[in-house]
Amino acid sequence: MFHKEGYKIILITLVVVIASIFAIDRFIDIPWLRLALMIGMLIFLVLILQFFRNPKRLTQLEDHTVVSPVDGKVVVIEEVFEKEVFNDKRIQVSVFMSPINVHVTRYPISGNVTYSKYHPGKYLVAWHPKASEENERTTVVVENEHFGKVLYRQIAGALAKRIVNYAKAEDKAIQGKDSGFIKFGSRVDLFLPLDADIKVALNQKVRGGESIIAEKL
């Protein structure tokens, strides 16, 4: 199953790969080089297909938990001052995505979308300390009665040149459901209440829509 954001790119890639293989077969006479180029084109197609895959996830809907919005590795867990929306201290949990991770963004909690904003910006590497404030990014806040307000921020990286965000203010968010897509590697920051019980550790790998990032009982 592939994400709709990849349909056009997958089709173009398929046409290019097929055309390239026919061209290689016709114009390259050296057997080993012909085979190597054909294999290279097939590997390129497989990588594109893998990048835009959209596997089903079994999200356990719970108002007292926050699930990871993306696949990747936890690279930040720290108390910070969040100044775009809250203007107070929050616990930041950041998940870094490599190009081989699933890049679907999912709602971390169910509730009402109270804020959604796109910010143009730079394309610093995703792990840069200033990426959260200076890179192209979107900020979304979802609120429910149990957990309160949870902010998640899609951040473009050096390779990510397009962020897709479906969340709009006053939308009804469903935990684990598709809320956007980031193309070609980046990270997502979560900003949680200080009394949230963090359930992940640094360098832990997480799965979007399934791995529990925090609880608030």
Point out the residues that are catalytic.
Answer: 186
Residues shown for the chain: 217
- Establish how many alpha carbons lie within 13 A of residue 108's alpha carbon, considering only the half-sphere containing its beta carbon: 33
Phi, psi of 47 (to 5 degrees): -65, -40
Token digits of residue 157: 């990286």
Amino acid at 20: S
Token digits of residue 65: 């938990």
For the purposes of burial, counting CB atoms within 10 Å of the CB of 145, is it exposed (0-12), middle (13-18) or buried (19 or more)? exposed
Distance, CA of 213 to CA of 200 (rounded, Å): 6
